[in-house]
Structure 1
Amino acid sequence: MNYNRKDYSEEELIQLYRALLKPRMIEERMLVLLRQGKVSKWFSGIGQEAISVGSALALEQDEYILPLHRNLGVFTSRGVELDRLFAQFQGKIHGFTKGRDRSFHFGSNEHHIVGMISHLGPQLAVADGIALADLLEKKEKVTLVFSGDGGASEGDFHEALNVAAVWGLPVIFMIENNGYGLSTPNNEQFKFKHFIDKGSAYGIDALQIDGNNILEVYDTVRQAAASIRKNPRPMLIEAITFRMRGHEEASGTKYVPKELFEKWAKKDPVENFERYLLDELVLTQKAMESIKEELRAEIEDGLQKAFAEPMPEVNREQELDDMYKPFDQEVIKPASDAKTERRFVDAISDALRQSMERYPELVLMGQDIAEYGGVFKVTEGFVDAFGKGRVRNTPLCESAILGVGLGMSVRGQKSMVEMQFADFVSAGFSQIVNNLAKSHYRWGQNADVVVRMPTGAGTAAGPFHSQSNEAWFFHTPGLKIVYPSSPYDAKGLLNAAIEDPNPVMYFEHKLLYRSISQEIPDDYYTVEIGKAKTVAEGSDLTIITYGMGVHWAMQLQQELTDASLEILDLRSLLPWDKEAVRAVVAKTGRVIILHEDTMTGGIGGEIAAWISEHCFELLDAPVARVASLDTAVPFSPPLEQDFLPRQRLRDKVAAMLNY
């Protein structure tokens, strides 16, 4: 291995050696503890330490790094306390996730590290978001994110690199090419020869380095970072290396040819650099042993402290509370009595505009939302008012943009991500349910992201532009869901959603955009999230609904002359207002739950079950549900109208009144 010392001092070289040796010695100790059953799982980075250590030391301490399984050297080089690190590995409270997640699945803003999730790819876009925040704040910083060669096969890899290239984001994408994705060799992962071949395709610089050469890694990243700080842009660095252990210890290495181990053992990053320093008389045998003894003592001290800590005591209240960043909403009333007649779509636009004025850190992102104003013209004129930096057209990459939102949250910024149609959110599903929703519970990092979801049928738009998919997210702790039915609530709930530091799914029915209007306050105001609203008083039967269902129920109530209907608009679906539901059940004793979503697995099933369990003695009839057919949304208007539950609602009301 050829080392180019350049003008690095002996002190710098010894610092690199110490930093390189530390994760190796920890790993060797972890492998012993694994065999003793004192740690449950281990993903080894033996043979790849130079990439983690060289990259971490090459950056400034306040620049973010987003590591993966085999990047222990990032954590040790950033000075993460070993007792906390070991407590994390053992699932102890003193760890970074309070025992809720394992190994390197955590972040620490104190150390400017954002840890991985098991899906690997989504992490790349989070780096884009951190870099975007730096760019908007005009900070000369760079963010470095790791990917393995296997994980680079995921669509998130393409999306993150493409967004970084288009937006000129200061990100280093460090690809650890160790030849295998778990047991699958590279020739079964991709057909190109080198990852650097991808650089020109994205329009970004790409470099290839020897990932086992600590000086080459350190010097390359240091120079790349210095250049990017002055001229913000993304860069891809491919580090050629080899994994000397299994993907994780239980998987073994039988699938790897023996000759590969023999070849790469000669390129061991620790042994080669140690030999080089001894040969160059930078390091003496005595000094080397002294460093090892110091590190050994530090490791043992950290282990003993971690072992001494008991396992977590169950605190159910804290577990539930920690799903969300604490936030006590104070409902804001309009400053004056001034009101204007506004359509539903205008109310949404008004809320976005006033929130942009109220929160200078808020950025809007979505397909065609800038000069074009979005397909529904919600953000028309916003570029002139707030500039292209804060009103951003995005490539067609839902997953990446949602990940960008989380990255911006790491840097204390707010974001609104518009799905062009709610149906398209499926392309970014993992970012929402695995990254945004779980982030605060896992390591205390909130996701201050609002996802706007133009939803619903009735426009003859067919199966892919008409779905009511709120139930997809209703099952996910960590998210909030709101679904307004009136212009007043549309503005107040969107303002509230942007104000809330937690991830909020904001559903807006497309058919309501230009079909209803209402006098609403001109001033900024909010509506309480989690609070239902009675929109019609009645005594014979209660309809619990939301969104378009409110209007169906209201029209039926006006048409019926021989029945009195109570109509409760939930407005918020997660959390939903159990007290209000109990009150209307007690009032009429007969309940229909109505929603546009399909019947099976819809939100109505959960509410019906809760009523049956908690309000059984208040009922005079079984709880009923009315919903759309269990089919995809059809295109032809006659089929679509039969799909929707509007006529079946009338029939069910009649049956319930006669029960």
Structure 2
Amino acid sequence: MTMDRKELGNEQLKEWYRQLLYPRLIEEKMLILLRQGKISKWFSGMGQEAIAVGATLAMQPGEWVLPLHRNLGVFTTRNMPLHKLFMQWQGMQEGYSSGRERSFHFGSSAHHICGMISHLGPQLAVADGVGLAHKLKREEKAVLVFSGEGGTSEGDFHEALNVAAVWDLPVIFLVENNGYALSTPVREQYRCIALADKAKGYGMEGITIDGNNLLAVYDTIKGVREYCIRNQKPYLVECTTFRMRGHEEASGTKYVPPELFELWQQQDPLLLYEQFLLQEQVMDAEEIKTINENIKQFIDKELEQATAGSTLIIDTAAEQEAVYAARKSSGLPVVADGLASVEKRFIEAIKEGLYQSMETHANLVVMGQDIAEYGGAFKVTEGFAAVFGRERIRNTPICESAIVGAALGLSLEGQKAVVEMQFADFVSMGFNQVVNNLAKIHYRWGQNADVVIRMPTGGGVGAGPFHSQSNEAWFVHTPGLKVVYPSTPADAKGLLIAAITDPNPVLFFEHKALYRSVSGQVPLEPYEVEIGKARKVVSGDDISVITYGMGVIWAEDYAAAHPEISLDILDLRTLLPLDYESINASVMKTGKVLVLHEDTLTGGVGAEIAAWIGEHCFNCLDAPVLRCASLDTPIPFNRELEKNFMAGKRLDACIQELMSY
């Protein structure tokens, strides 16, 4: 191996030795703590330190780095206090995630580090979002994101590289190729000669370098960073290396041929750099020994500081409050009588709410398939690109996971994002990003996810199993999300504006059959409808009908056709969080409850509401809580079969059953 110091001075080379040695000695201490039972698990990066350290040194302090679970050198090179890192690794409340996360599954906006989630690939798309934010703000910055060679087999890798290339984003994709994912060798992982060869397929440049050569890593990433900023292009860097420990300590290394350890031991990045410094007479053996001793003493002091006086205070209320970012007042009026209004269709109200939000928030970006000149599948954004420009109204490749991830990346840089799913059904392709990345990031380390996902949903249009299903219940079970489902044009506009103002991830369900079939008075000016607050549609005494979306229309039509039955209709509007106070008030009023929704019966939102009523309102019930929902089948294509599928088909029978009690 040849190391080229170029213009680097002796003091800088010495400092970089400290930076390279520091994570190695921390790891040695961590392995002791592991054996002592003071930490539960450790993912070792021994043998790979030159990549994390060299690459981070090449980036500017204000540029984001998105590391993996064996990139300790990223955190130490960014000078994160070691005693607080020790607290993090031991699950202490004083750590970066308040004891809620393990090892490196956290981030720090102050240090411009965004930690991983266990699924490995999603952070690649988040880097795209950060790169997009830099591009939109005309900043001369790049973003660095890590992947292992195993992670390149995931769809997220393909989607993220494709989006970065199509959008010309300044993103450095760094692949640490250590030959084994957990235990699977590269011959069972891919068939290309080098992973860097994949770059050409995406229309970007790529290079393979020796990941154990600290100076080569630094010089390469430094040059690549300059290239990405100058040309506004992504770049793929493959670093060949080897890890000297198991995937994590419990997994061992029996699957690795012994001769490989012997070979790579000679290529230890720390050993190679020490030899280089000695040969260049930058340092002598005594100075190396002194630096080692000083760092070990420092580590011991930081560990002592971490463990001294640490206490665990379990506060249930604090845990629940940490799930969502605090919402600040927008200053907009809450919809009320007296505002000047006009008649609008449901879809026109959504379009106006989005348009006015684009005017209000200069940092808002809308992304989705065919949403620019074409205007989206339902023409909600028609004409937007001409007004707000293609930078803010962005057509996307067909890659839901990458776009949701990019929306989160925009949040890291203080941007807002609205993502349009062409159909709510297609969100399954981005499910991991929604339920694991967006939903959990604030609870994990206090980072908000300022993202709204518009979800055209529901049946009644004869579109079959993959364009008509109601999938809101998938997400109501996920803490950290907000789920909104309006049924009137006024609510659609006000709730969409409120969702965009909210710093938390909001899934905004829009029933396709309501787009052009329902009209109502909609205030002209921007306003908000409070998320988490239900609407009393009509007051009655016989039966409480608790519903949302198309269920509201069914209930209103039934009430009009049966004036002899006094229905108390409650439109939930928000499914997460639920307005339990309004639910309770309605139940207390009638004593008989029907929970109505278009979604299938088993595991639907109605099950949760019925259970809550049974727990909290049992004493005032005069009959069992009934659920009226669609059949437990996929939604069929044939119009007559679809009508039979729908909950509305069984509404009369349910109401008559309750009336008979």
TM range (shorter): over 0.9
Say yes or no: does 1:17 pair with 2:17.
Answer: yes
Residue number in structure 2 paired with 1:420: 422
* Distance (whole Å) between structure 2 residues aligned to residue 134 and residue 359 of structure 1: 17
* Distance (whole Å) between structure 1 residues aligned to residue 582 and residue 263 of structure 2: 69
* Distance (whole Å) between structure 2 residues aligned to residue 467 and residue 329 of structure 1: 35
Q: Contact 2:335 / 2:494 at 8 angstroms: preserved in 1?
A: no
Residue number in structure 2 paired with 1:321: 321
Residue number in structure 1 paired with 2:190: 190
* Distance (whole Å) between structure 2 residues aligned to residue 365 and residue 233 of structure 1: 20
Counterpart of 1:31, as a letter, is: L
Residue number in structure 2 paired with 1:61: 61
- Shift in Å, 1:311: 4.4
- Deviations 1:520-579, CA, capped at 9 Å, x for gaps: 111001001111111112111111000000000000000013211111000010011111
Q: For 1:92-107, list aligned pairs within 5 A.
A: 92-107=92-107
* Distance (whole Å) between structure 2 residues aligned to residue 309 and residue 260 of structure 1: 45
- Deviations 1:230-278, CA, capped at 9 Å, x for gaps: 2211000000001111000000000000011011001000011101101
Q: Contact 2:179 / 2:185 at 8 angstroms: preserved in 1?
A: yes
* Distance (whole Å) between structure 1 residues aligned to residue 600 and residue 13 of structure 2: 64
1:651 to 650, 653, 656: 653
* Distance (whole Å) between structure 1 residues aligned to residue 632 and residue 292 of structure 2: 66
Q: Contact 2:335 / 2:529 at 8 angstroms: preserved in 1?
A: no
* Distance (whole Å) between structure 1 residues aligned to residue 615 and residue 220 of structure 2: 63
Counterpart of 1:332, as a letter, is: P
Residue number in structure 1 paired with 2:361: 359
Q: For 1:191-590, list aligned pairs within 5 A.
A: 191-327=191-327, 329=329, 332-333=333-334, 337-590=339-592
Q: For 1:75-114, list aligned pairs within 5 A.
A: 75-114=75-114
Q: Contact 2:210 / 2:217 at 8 angstroms: preserved in 1?
A: yes
* Distance (whole Å) between structure 1 residues aligned to residue 168 and residue 130 of structure 2: 13
* Distance (whole Å) between structure 2 residues aligned to residue 312 and residue 503 of structure 1: 30
- Shift in Å, 1:489: 0.2
- Deviations 1:87-123, CA, capped at 9 Å, x for gaps: 0000011110000001000100111100000001001
- Deviations 1:281-336, CA, capped at 9 Å, x for gaps: 01112221221122112211111111214242111000000000012556624798
* Distance (whole Å) between structure 1 residues aligned to residue 477 and residue 369 of structure 2: 27
* Distance (whole Å) between structure 2 residues aligned to residue 106 and residue 296 of structure 1: 25
Counterpart of 1:136, as a letter, is: L
* Distance (whole Å) between structure 2 residues aligned to residue 36 and residue 338 of structure 1: 69
Residue number in structure 2 paired with 1:625: 627
Counterpart of 1:558, as a letter, is: A
Q: Contact 1:45 / 1:243 at 8 angstroms: preserved in 2?
A: yes
SS of match in other structure, 2:398 = coil
Give the paired residue count: 659
Counterpart of 2:208, as a letter, is: Q
Counterpart of 2:333, as a letter, is: I
Identity %: 59
Say yes or no: does 1:38 pair with 2:38.
Answer: yes
Counterpart of 1:571, as a letter, is: R
Q: For 1:173-188, list aligned pairs within 5 A.
A: 173-188=173-188
* Distance (whole Å) between structure 2 residues aligned to residue 144 and residue 647 of structure 1: 54
What TM-score, normalized by structure 1, do the two folds share? Answer: 0.99
* Distance (whole Å) between structure 1 residues aligned to residue 327 and residue 166 of structure 2: 35
What TM-score, normalized by structure 2, do the two folds share? Answer: 0.99
Q: Contact 1:542 / 1:567 at 8 angstroms: preserved in 2?
A: yes
* Distance (whole Å) between structure 2 residues aligned to residue 338 and residue 584 of structure 1: 31
* Distance (whole Å) between structure 1 residues aligned to residue 281 and residue 306 of structure 2: 38
- Shift in Å, 1:657: 0.4
* Distance (whole Å) between structure 2 residues aligned to residue 449 and residue 30 of structure 1: 37
Q: Contact 1:334 / 1:523 at 8 angstroms: preserved in 2?
A: no
Deviating above 2 A after TM superposition, structure 1's stretches of 4 or more consecutive aligned residues are: 309-312, 328-331, 333-338
Residue number in structure 1 paired with 2:611: 609
RMSD: 1.1
Counterpart of 1:375, as a letter, is: A
SS of match in other structure, 2:453 = strand
SS of match in other structure, 1:520 = strand
* Unmatched segments (≥5 aa) in structure 2: none
Which region of structure 1 is more displaced relative to structure 2, 368-377 or 290-299? 290-299
Q: Contact 1:342 / 1:519 at 8 angstroms: preserved in 2?
A: yes
Residue number in structure 2 paired with 1:29: 29
- Deviations 1:6-28, CA, capped at 9 Å, x for gaps: 22111121122111111111111
* Distance (whole Å) between structure 2 residues aligned to residue 492 and residue 118 of structure 1: 37
Q: Contact 1:99 / 1:312 at 8 angstroms: preserved in 2?
A: no
Which region of structure 1 is more displaced relative to structure 2, 558-567 or 314-323? 558-567
Q: Contact 1:626 / 1:648 at 8 angstroms: preserved in 2?
A: yes
* Distance (whole Å) between structure 1 residues aligned to residue 199 and residue 590 of structure 2: 66
- Deviations 1:562-611, CA, capped at 9 Å, x for gaps: 21111100001001111111111111111000000000000000000110
* Distance (whole Å) between structure 1 residues aligned to residue 334 and residue 73 of structure 2: 51
Counterpart of 2:55, as a letter, is: S
SS of match in other structure, 1:626 = strand
Which region of structure 1 is more displaced relative to structure 2, 216-225 or 11-20? 11-20
* Distance (whole Å) between structure 1 residues aligned to residue 640 and residue 412 of structure 2: 48
Q: Contact 2:227 / 2:233 at 8 angstroms: preserved in 1?
A: no
* Distance (whole Å) between structure 1 residues aligned to residue 312 and residue 442 of structure 2: 18
* Distance (whole Å) between structure 2 residues aligned to residue 414 and residue 421 of structure 1: 21
